[in-house]
Homo-oligomer: A and B are copies of this chain.
């Protein structure tokens, strides 16, 4: 089934213990699409300024990405983010943000994007996520991400959004902030009570956890890679691999959800292997399937 992503496209500048990468391509929709595009076609919805130096068609290469929803806005500037990672690189330190075009009107949804089956609303203001959702007809499965900022400044909007989506993908710290709980299982259950029927809590190098309203619980370690160069985009490419796989199989049962989470984990392991999208860009479905099988071997008993 068709998959739509809406999120940011950014000009990133990143420093990690392994190097410095200035003005590289980034943003949630970019990292998501690099992952999802390994599994299925992606309808891309986002906006950049006229200063955007990236050729997204070239960037996505052999991935089948519909860019009808990419708006290049005259007189506007592209979103920019600068950040750094230290030590174990488990959290980013934001050094500068220029929202630019992201602070303006969202992109228009093309008619050809109506009646899409699977939707991922990458992290942005929940009110904006809902406005975008309003324009998308009745998708069969909607997932969203969120962050601290909205949990603390737009909690009512976020609660309204949670009641309208099927799955929330969220970081551990943010999940605990949202619910006020400290125990991960209690946290996951509290989020399910807020509306979504699936919650996935990401724990970075410690893996991820899924709980569903039907009572399924799935625990997955991260893929044990020794090559961690730049964690930027790991969460978005995790969501991309996950949603891409779900859309490719066209069903959201327990087995598909578990496999999707494994694919998300594996995709993220390629993303963090280099700066920007250089790690995931050259990954193939065969490479992803290889790590999927490896991760099964690493976890079965």
A residues lining the B interface (CB < 8 Å): 87-88, 182-186, 203, 205-207, 209, 217-221, 224-226, 228, 255, 258-259, 261-262, 296, 298-301
10 sampled A-B residue pairs with Cβ under 8 A: A88-B182, A185-B225, A186-B226, A203-B206, A217-B298, A218-B299, A218-B301, A255-B301, A259-B301, A299-B299
Chain B residue numbers with a CB within 8 Å of A224 are 184-185, 209, 217, 219
Chain B residue numbers with a CB within 8 Å of A299 are 218-220, 299-301
A187, chain B: closest CB distance, angstroms: 10
Given contacts A217-B298, A218-B298, A258-B301, 9 further A-B contacts (CB under 8 A): A183-B226, A184-B224, A185-B226, A209-B221, A219-B299, A255-B301, A259-B301, A261-B301, A299-B301
Chain B residue numbers with a CB within 8 Å of A296 are 301
Interface pair A184/B205, CB less than 8 Å apart: yes
Interface pair A298/B226, CB less than 8 Å apart: no
Complexed CA–CA distance, A144 and B168 (Å) = 42
Chain B residue numbers with a CB within 8 Å of A203 are 206
Interface pair A87/B182, CB less than 8 Å apart: yes
Interface pair A207/B207, CB less than 8 Å apart: yes
Interface pair B205/A221, CB less than 8 Å apart: no
